[in-house]
Structure 1
């Protein structure tokens, strides 16, 4: 399972979503940091961040479709 940590009205998050679509990333959950202090503390300066929940691996922005595909290929 994948999670994309993002913000409302975030231009970089919109770009990340476009790259994930280009990469044909599997389905993921979106979690918005707005009004979530614990998540804001952890991810605030790194957003958007893609997290692989099973392994705990995280991919910080900036990334492109090729990077996402390579990141997803790692077990």
Structure 2
């Protein structure tokens, strides 16, 4: 697996984040990504930006993210547009 990461913006006790992971897992292998969780509670800017929309996934650019709800297929299309 490569060192490219799909970032999951999350926080402690986020039940929707567990649901999102079910959609995320199939795409990690397909795109050779690892999952990196970032707790938005540790960052005031991320809390302000994503506090009401987590789980959110991205590739590092906080202005280009995919917010929940998303399906595995929607995530695949989002990743394909950015990585292929």
Range into which the TM-score falls when normalised by the shorter chain: 0.7 to 0.9
The TM-score with structure 2 as length reference comes to 0.75
Q: Which moved more, 1:33-42 or 1:9-18?
A: 33-42
How far residue 2 of structure 1 moved from its aligned partner, in angstroms, is: 2.4
| Stretches (4+) displaced over 6 A | none
Structure 1 unaligned runs (5+)?
Answer: none
The alpha-carbon distance between structure 1 residues 34 and 66, as it changes in their structure 2 partners (threshold 3 A), is: same
Deviation at 1:56, TM superposition (A): 4.7
**More helix as a share of residues:** 2
1:27 aligns with 2:31: no
2:16 and 2:61 map into 1 onto residues whose CA distance is 25
In structure 2, stretches of 5+ residues that fail to align are none
Matched, 1:8 2:15: no
SS of residue matched to 1:18: helix
SS in 2 for 1:9: coil
TM-score (norm 1): 0.83
Higher mean displacement: 9-18 or 34-43: 34-43
Cα RMSD, aligned residues only: 2.0
